[in-house]
Structure 1
Amino acid sequence: MMITPFQIAYKNLLRKKVRSVLTLIGIMLSTWVLVSLFGFNRGYETALNRDIENMGYQLMVMAKGCPYEAATMMLQGGKGLRYMDQSMVDQITKEPEVDKVTPILMQAFFDPNKGESGGIAGFYGVDAHSYPAMKPFFRFKKGGWFKDNAADEVVMGYEAAELEQREVGDETIVPEKNVKLKVVGILERTGSQDDGTTFVPLKTLQKISQVDQITTIGIKVKKDADITGLENKLYQLKDVQVVSFSQVKQTIMKLISTARVMVFSIAVVALLIAMVGVINTVLMSVLERRQEIGILKTMGAMPGDVFRLVWTETLILCSLGGVAGILLAVLFSRFTDLLARSILPYAPKGGLVAIDLKLSLLTLVIIVVVGLLSGLYPAWKAGRIRPLESIRGE
């Protein structure tokens, strides 16, 4: 039975088990960091894009000061929201870059039943026609949208319905106003902020809150339209501010890129340390087997044969360490996800670490190629051993 170079290389590595295992661990940890980094890079951007797409629109127009006063209202129970006239919707609709618009009225009421000392219940007044068109990906667990903008009905997000233990056909009460509304639809879980939202027909909420204005206008831009140009036009409108989700995304990704560079630097250092371990392991193996290599040459082995034999040892080390590191990254991807969420300034819904077969193979190729480059010197050194000198022990 003929012994293959792989069998010989494998047996040579087993001679020094502790050294080989430590080298494998170094390669494995480097691969783990590298594939987790690549997976995070892909997963985070995918999740962020999904969060933005789930908004249904790329731009929001709101009255100046609205976000700050909304924060005050939510934290301190104030009611200082600023409003816009609904005629603003018609002005924005005329812009050629605009595909669809939807008016929104956000209102919050004090609910004594939330928590020990009460809390704020948020309601979104939305247009019965334009808002569902902005969110075609919404799926209903039960029921559907309300009939018109003046109906005494609500649609509840998945978590909002669970919190209040409501089913389709039940009635829910608007806190402070003691107005009863019928639940006509409950949404399936979306993994976004919509899960905790209660949607009310726009005119109904305006009537309940005695406000005939709106707080926000959502804008969906036409495909390939100049969003920056549209933003500049919208800034010319009186007393409004514009929030662009593409800008929000860019800002968040800039914050993340700093952390990503740091982690990538750690991965490179870990990779270099692992490669030094590969060089050390293979080179020491070569030096310890000088006489064996010399005997092989006297029996007719060419320098190229010895080179391939030693290089095969490097290939085995890097392949095994790379595969083990990828498996480790997949097994602990949930832990990596939780760790990333604990340190990031903003973490979108869904998985932040996306590791698939293509990414795993790419990482394995990088590890093996870098490892084989590291094994060039030990293999070259082995190929240059002179038979007579090695047998004499010189």
Structure 2
Amino acid sequence: MISRFQIAYKNLLRKKMRTLLTLVGIMLSSWVLVSLLGFNRGYENALNRDIDNMGYQLMVMAKGCPYEAATMMLQGGTGLRYIARSMVDSIVDKPEVDRVTPILMQAFFDPNKGDGGGIAGYYGVDPATFPAMKPFLRFRQGGWFRDAQAAEAVMGYEAAELEQREVGDMILVPEKNVQLKVVGILERSGTQDDGTIFCPLKTLQGIAATDKITTIGIKVKKGADSAKLENALYQLPDVQVVSFTQVKQTIMKLIATARVMVLSIAIIALLIAMVGVVNTVLMSVLERMQEIGIMKTMGAMPGDIFRLVWTETLILCTCGGIAGIGLAFAFARLSDLLVRRVLPYAPGGNLVAIDMRLALLTMAVIVGVGLMSGIYPAWRAGRVRPLESIRREG
């Protein structure tokens, strides 16, 4: 006995091109929808991970725009002002402070980096405090520096891959003609640390000819009042305090504006696809009026006709949704690269995080909206009067 699904499938194949175009519309709308939902989840997770991997919750730096400064720090950028090294002593004894670490950021133009040259980012860090701030960093080769004044470097995974360096190799600091020995290469972390070159703070201060620093990272004690600590730090002269919780909220607000626009586009694409579903199924019903009338004269009830036509809608939406979700999985990496090109700040890791739970949610939305779209054509088919339809077609 031929099932309702087989009949519905054969009905859709009668107009192959029309059915194909409808499937393409559903496929594209589901692709956009699942990619957008994946971006919403992936970006926030990546941003949280980048902030957590900073190893500290607060930063102290010279006065300026705090959010711009924090974003530049997350990106490994430059252009920050300097503060005195002695500022660390004014912070470390505060009761809410667990640990502090001084950092000097420097960037040098490297003519051999990329096409036309690029910027090489160096972090001068204190060997006594910085590794304890980031215990999650793991080494692929070697380890941290021997002492606080060693002419040595630890390279992030991507920095080492780009320059093809191994432990024991020498690297030349661009513009300064100073050589550093590579003593460690980090494993891939999926953060900005992957592209960074670390060296002892005093060593980088000597190379940059400065006794100052750019940033003080502060780890707050568990359960301590970070707001109280922030207020106390604001009393220090000529410094700006950056809370990464606030930075996260600000960045997410900026991204939310773009996300609303893209979500609107996705909804419009979904509505257009559903109009295509209505058109395809309704045209199929109108072309088969006589056939439906004959089925009714043979005993088919209106509910049977309704379910048959609704099944055609279900097949269209299911096939189109599966194809679109499959494309989203296949091109997730490409979507990630495109997003990174247009965002002012892109954290490390995957920005488009698509999993089966998200895919099933998207599938449920596509099928649910599609079935709602198919109610009218199915209802129209169920109301066909057998004799009138046969006589009209005849």
**TM tier relative to shorter chain:** 0.7 to 0.9
Deviations 1:270-297 (A, max 9, x none): 1111111111211222222222222222
Question: Alpha-carbon deviation of 1:376?
Answer: 0.9
Deviations 1:303-346 (A, max 9, x none): 21111111111101110111111112222223322222222222
Within 5 A, what are the aligned runs for 1:207-286? 211-223=210-222, 225-286=224-285
- Counterpart of 1:377 in structure 2 is 376
Question: Alpha-carbon deviation of 1:105?
Answer: 3.1
Gaps of 5+ in 1: 70-77
Give the distance between the partners of 1:29 and 1:112, measured in 2 at CA.
43
Gaps of 5+ in 2: 70-77
The two structures have a TM-score, normalised by structure 1, of: 0.85
Within 5 A, what are the aligned runs for 1:238-387? 238-387=237-386
Question: Alpha-carbon deviation of 1:115?
Answer: 9.6
Give the 3 Å change call, closer, same or farther, for CA 380–122 of structure 1 in structure 2: closer
- Counterpart of 1:9 in structure 2 is 8
Q: Does 1:84 align with 2:84?
A: yes
Matched residue type, 1:315: L
Cα RMSD over matched residues? Answer: 3.3
Give the 3 Å change call, closer, same or farther, for CA 274–149 of structure 1 in structure 2: same
Q: Percent identity?
A: 75
Deviates more, 1:297-306 or 1:364-373: 297-306
Give the distance between the partners of 2:213 and 2:113, measured in 1 at CA.
26
Give the 3 Å change call, closer, same or farther, for CA 327–163 of structure 1 in structure 2: closer
Deviations 1:56-103 (A, max 9, x none): 22221013369999xxxxxxxx999532243x3343234444332212
Question: Alpha-carbon deviation of 1:153?
Answer: 3.7
Question: Alpha-carbon deviation of 1:4?
Answer: 0.5
Give the 3 Å change call, closer, same or farther, for CA 24–240 of structure 1 in structure 2: same
**Matched length:** 384
Question: Alpha-carbon deviation of 1:362?
Answer: 0.8
Give the distance between the partners of 2:312 and 2:115, measured in 1 at CA.
66
Give the 3 Å change call, closer, same or farther, for CA 175–27 of structure 1 in structure 2: closer
Secondary structure of the residue aligned to 1:217 is: strand
Deviations 1:335-394 (A, max 9, x none): 322222222222223332222111111111100000001111111122222223223228
Deviates more, 1:243-252 or 1:305-314: 243-252
Q: Is the 8 A contact 1:64 1:82 kept in 2?
A: no
Q: Is the 8 A contact 2:145 2:152 kept in 1?
A: yes
- Counterpart of 2:54 in structure 1 is 55
- Counterpart of 2:139 in structure 1 is 140
Deviations 1:225-272 (A, max 9, x none): 544443232212112111222233222222221221111111111111
Deviates more, 1:227-236 or 1:104-113: 104-113
Deviates more, 1:146-155 or 1:290-299: 146-155
Question: Alpha-carbon deviation of 1:144?
Answer: 0.7
Give the distance between the partners of 2:268 and 2:80, measured in 1 at CA.
53
